[in-house]
Each structure stands twice: as structure tokens, then as C-alpha cells.
């Protein structure tokens, strides 16, 4: 197993960097046997940026093919935890991570290479971050780095991804046009299509609608409900109604701690912790 070979010594930052590069060079990976599904398990996660502790003993089990929302005030560590799940914190200078992070039963800091991990755990950010290329090339970017070259195969991936992102009708006649010419809401859905192109098992969405108008927001919310038939969605949102509309489970964070994690309905109707109640009812501060 080559995977084991290049993940043996991962103690230092520089080792991790080499590891990412070696991952990029690899042509084909069979992820099926590494991540058995899109479930996510976090056990006793602690994370420091230098002296500052951004995550404090966080443990939670996120079920496969459900939508899970992370809520909490700014700076409570939601994005930090999200980024741990596809190892985006690895390259941050001075960032130290403890604990166990699993995707589909596999320890992602020990036994999976970063490139393979990111193929399985896609991420979409608050602001669309498309490449200055055509719509077609944006979507093919991921599959191409994973070695897919055949035109017919790429065509198929583009069509499927755009359809899954509910974008096909809007995009099919302008595939060769620049992706940056689309509206903000379209660009965000294109980012989702791009993430879907490599068929991830988990999709991380970090405040994906906070810059969008209500109609584009509605489309993305609808999309998440469709997507969960195929994969696990974890969404950071500041919009409580959004969490109640789309999330099966909700986790509330405060100052780096996971305060409460339960079924969304339970959390919003009958929260256990008074801090959750104060936050969601707007009684804080």
C-alpha cells in the first residue's frame, strides 16, 4: 500500500508539505477502500494557533448522508473545525492539532494522504473562489489532477456535476465562457459543482450563502437537501432559520467549545444548555 508509505512520518510541517505534493503527482487512487462512507468522527480535538487555543476538547460524531450545521458566534472555532476535516490547517504556521479525526472510519491525520482526503472531503467557502478559466475547465480541474484526460469522460463529469448542482440549464450553453462572468449566486453553485466533480463523500460549506440574495440562498438550501442523498454535508451558518430549514443535526460552539450537539429540532425547540438557549434566542450580550 503506497498510501501507508507516504504517511508514515508525518510529525513535522515540512513532511506534511512533501506529502501533499507527492499526493498531487499520483495518478489514480482508489478511495473506496479508504473511506467507507461519509461519516465524520472527531474525538477530543484541541487546536492551537500559537498560544491561542481555538478548539477545546471537541468531540462529535457526524452521520453519513445527513446535513449537519455548525452555529455559534464569530470566532468560536466553526471554520477551524471545518478546516481540520480536510486538513487545511496543516500548513498554517504555528498551528498545533491534537485529537483524532476520522472520515468514513479512517484516521485522516494518520492513514490517508492529503490529496486523497481532499478528493473525498470537498470544501466551499463564503466567497466563490473560481479560477479565471472557463466554466468547463473549472469543473474539470479536480478530475484532471486525478488523472482523467479523456474528453468524453470529462464531458460526462461536467454535465453530471452541473446537474447535481442544479446549474445545468443555466450553464450548458456557456461552458466555454469565463466562469467569472456569472452572478454571485451562480458562481457559488459552480463552486459546489466543481467540488462535486471529484465525487466527494463529504462536502464542507463555510457560510456559503452569507453573501447571496434570498433567491440564490434558497437554491443552495434546496441543493443541500438533494445532495444529502449522495453525501454528507456540513455547513457553517450564521442564519438560524437556515439551520432549522436544512440541517438534520446542529452543533453549537462557544469560545472553542462544543456546547451542545443534537437533532436540529431538539436543539431549537428544547435546548439543554442555557448558553445555547441564550444564543439562539438572541439574549446574548
Q: Could you say whether residue 92 binds ligand ADP (CB under 6 A)?
A: yes
- List b or e across 177-202, with b for residues whose CB sees 16 or more CB atoms inside 10 angstroms: eebeebeebbbbbbbbbbbbbbbbbb
Q: Could you say whether residue 240 binds other proteins (CB under 8 A)?
A: yes
CB of 27 to ligand ADP, least distance (A): 32
Distance CA 122, CA 116 (A): 11
Q: Could you say whether residue 128 binds ligand ADP (CB under 6 A)?
A: no
CB of 77 to other proteins, least distance (A): 22
Phi, psi of 252 (to 5 degrees): -110, 125
CB of 222 to Mg ion, least distance (A): 23
Residue closer to Mg ion by CB (options 123, 154) is 123
8 Å CB contact between 101 and 107: yes
Q: Would you say how long the chain is, in residues?
A: 285
CB of 118 to Mg ion, least distance (A): 19
The neighbour count for residue 263, using CB atoms within 10 Å, is 13
Distance CA 278, CA 285 (A): 9
Q: List all residues 6 or more positions away from 152 whose beta carbon is below 8 Å from its beta carbon.
A: none
Residue closer to other proteins by CB (options 135, 235) is 235
Report the residue from 46, 53, 244, 262 that binds other proteins according to the rule CB under 8 A.
Answer: 244
Maximum separation of any 2 CA atoms in the chain, in Å: 57
Q: Could you say whether residue 27 binds other proteins (CB under 8 A)?
A: no
Subset of 14-73 contacting ligand ADP (CB under 6 A):
49, 52, 54, 72
Residue closer to other proteins by CB (options 213, 266) is 266
CB of 80 to Mg ion, least distance (A): 8
Site residues for ligand ADP per CB under 6 A: 49, 52, 54, 72, 74-80, 92
Amino acid at each position: 500500500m503506497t498510501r501507508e508509505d507516504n504517511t508514515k512520518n508525518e510529525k513535522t510541517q515540512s513532511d506534511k508539505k512533501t506529502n501533499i505534493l507527492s499526493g498531487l503527482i499520483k495518478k489514480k487512487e482508489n478511495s473506496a477502500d479508504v473511506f467507507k462512507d461519509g461519516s465524520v468522527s472527531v474525538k477530543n480535538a484541541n487546536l492551537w494557533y500559537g498560544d491561542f487555543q481555538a478548539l477545546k476538547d471537541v468531540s462529535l460524531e457526524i452521520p453519513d448522508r445527513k446535513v449537519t450545521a455548525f452555529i455559534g458566534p464569530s470566532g468560536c472555532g466553526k471554520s477551524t473545525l471545518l478546516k481540520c476535516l480536510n486538513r487545511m490547517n496543516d500548513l498554517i504556521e504555528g498551528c498545533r492539532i491534537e485529537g483524532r479525526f476520522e472520515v468514513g472510519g479512517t484516521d485522516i491525520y494518520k492513514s490517508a494522504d492529503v490529496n486523497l482526503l481532499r478528493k473525498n472531503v470537498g470544501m466551499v467557502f463564503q466567497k466563490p473562489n473560481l479560477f479565471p478559466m472557463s466554466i468547463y475547465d473549472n469543473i474539470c480541474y479536480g478530475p484532471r489532477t486525478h488523472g482523467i484526460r479523456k474528453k468524453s469522460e470529462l464531458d460526462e463529469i461536467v454535465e453530471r456535476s452541473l446537474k447535481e448542482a442544479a446549474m445545468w440549464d443555466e450553464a450548458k450553453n456557456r461552458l466555454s465562457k469565463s466562469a467569472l462572468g456569472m452572478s454571485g449566486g451562480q458562481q457559488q453553485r459552480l463552486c459546489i459543482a466543481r467540488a462535486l466533480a471529484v465525487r466527494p463523500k463529504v462536502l464542507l460549506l463555510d457560510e456559503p450563502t452569507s453573501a447571496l440574495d434570498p433567491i440564490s440562498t434558497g437554491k443552495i438550501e434546496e441543493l443541500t437537501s438533494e445532495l444529502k442523498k449522495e453525501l454528507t454535508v456540513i455547513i457553517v451558518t450564521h442564519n438560524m432559520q437556515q439551520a432549522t430549514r436544512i440541517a438534520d443535526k446542529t452543533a453549537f460552539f462557544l469560545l472553542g467549545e462544543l456546547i451542545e450537539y443534537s437533532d436540529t429540532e431538539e436543539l431549537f425547540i428544547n435546548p439543554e444548555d442555557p448558553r445555547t438557549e441564550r444564543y439562539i434566542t438572541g439574549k446574548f450580550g
